[in-house]
Every structure is written in structure tokens, then in C-alpha cells.
Amino acid sequence: MSGQDSKRKRQPSSLSTDSNMISISQEDLDSLIKEAVNAASNVIIARMTVLLNEKCKEIEDRTNGELMDMKTKYENLVKENETLKGMNATNETNIKTNSSRSNQGIILANDCEQYTRRWSVRVYGIAELDDEDCTKLVVDVFKNNLGLSLNATHIEAAHRVGKTRVLEDGKVIPKAIICRFCDRRDRDRVMTNRKKLKGKKIAIADDLTTLNYKLLNRVKNHTKFQDSWAWNGRVFGKLVSGKIYKISLFQDFDALK
């Protein structure tokens, strides 16, 4: 590099104002620019800080308001839930009371219906015949199988009930015969002597109501019982332990020990 070029490079910048020349070095110019940039940055940062704080305050206020609303709603829901719990407890009590009353009504009606059947028995296993006389058929069973001196005058009515069933092997199960006696004592004599039919195709049982018949089947099919039977319209069950219970319509089997 020539000496002339070196001298030219070291010459300061020059600005002309009117007839006067103002000289500013590159270092001073850089310093002025840096100060201007810093000042502008500080102003922008200050303004952005103010705006950001304002926005944060706005968000905080809105959030606090929403939280207060949620808290109020939550407290209202808690109160409503407590009220509903109280109402539910009252309703459960009412339901249990009404259910108990309903069960008592059902038991009473069933007992009344069963009492009207106190004069009747059901005879199973008598073959069906054309133009049959059901009264004669049951009287023959009472005489020939039970050894009782009964005749048609002791029978108020006798007729078939239910349906004839045919098993898979083709065996026909005839419909049962309901027999109603004029005197309940004659009916009791038949029930007392029915044990003589053990081992035969004919069987005699209480004329149970629909509910009592279903109850007897429940006991019969429950694993807790080893035996079950009906006597005078009442259902009995013998537990595996050997204890015997009279079973009511709404009996809790699990409570029996």
C-alpha cells in the first residue's frame, strides 16, 4: 500500500453545512448509532413491559372472575347435592316403607286365597280318559290306594287343570285333577294318608296358590335346602344342616342358618 493511500484512509469523514465543514469520526458515528439504538430499545422495552403488564392484569382479572364464578357454582352444586342426598334418603325410606306395605298386602291376599283352597287337593298321575268322570276317578284313588271310605257325596267338585305334557321319551304326563271336598276333615284325612302312595305313579298335594307354588319351586331348586314340601298351604324347607324352616313369600334364604 502506497503512503498516499494510507494518508487518504486516515482522513476523517466530512459533512458540509453551508460553507463550514464538520468532521465526525467513524468511531463517533458508531457510538451515536449505538446510543440511538439503545435508547429506542429501552423505549420499546418499556412500552412492551407496560403493555404486557396490562395484558397480564387483564388476564388475571378475568381468570379470577371465572374462578370466583366456578367457586360459586361449585358451592351451589355442593348445597344442591346435599339437598338431593336428603331427598334421596327420604325417598329410599318411603320406598322401603311402601315396599314393606306392598309386601304385607301381597302376603295377606295370598294367605286369603290359600285359605279358600283349604278344602282342595291336587291329584297327579291319573290317566286321562274320553268322557271321564273326574269325581269317580279321584274317589277310586281314595278307596283303592288310601283305604278311605269316601264316595261322590263327599266331593263338591273335581276337574282337570293345566296342560297334558309329553316328555322327550314320548311318555305322557296327564293333567292334574283339582278335587274340592264338602268337609275339610275329609280333605285332611286324604292328606294324612297320602304317604301310602309312595313309590306309585299317583301323587296328592296341597292345592297351592300360584305364589306359593313358585315359592315351593324356589326352595326346591335352591342349593341351601336338601328337602322341601308343602303342608296345609304352608311351604317348608330343610337346610343341609338339618334345620327345618317355614318359608314365607319374601324370605331371605341367605339369612337362614
What pLDDT does residue 157 have?
97
Per-residue confidence (pLDDT) for residue 9, from 0 to 100: 45
Q: How far apart are CA 90 and CA 71, in angstroms?
A: 29
Burial of 235 (0-12, 13-18, 19+ CB in 10 A): buried
pLDDT value of residue 68 = 85
Cell numbers standing for residue 25:
469520526
- What pLDDT, on a 0 to 100 scale, did the predictor assign at position 139? 97
Report, as ranges of residue numbers, the positions in the chain whose pLDDT lies below 70.
Answer: 1-22, 96
Each residue's pLDDT tens digit, 172-223: 899 999 999 999 999 999 999 999 999 999 999 999 999 999 999 999 999 9
Contact (CB, 8 A) for 189 and 121: no
Decide: helix, strand or coil at residue 213: helix
The residues, ordered by sequence, that sit 6+ positions from 172 with a Cβ below 8 Å of its Cβ are: 164, 165, 166
Give residue 28's identity as a one-letter amino acid code. Answer: D
Share of the chain residues as helix, strand and coil, in percent rounded to the nearest 5: 55, 20, 25
Residue type, 209: T
Query: Cell 460553507 appears where?
Result: 19
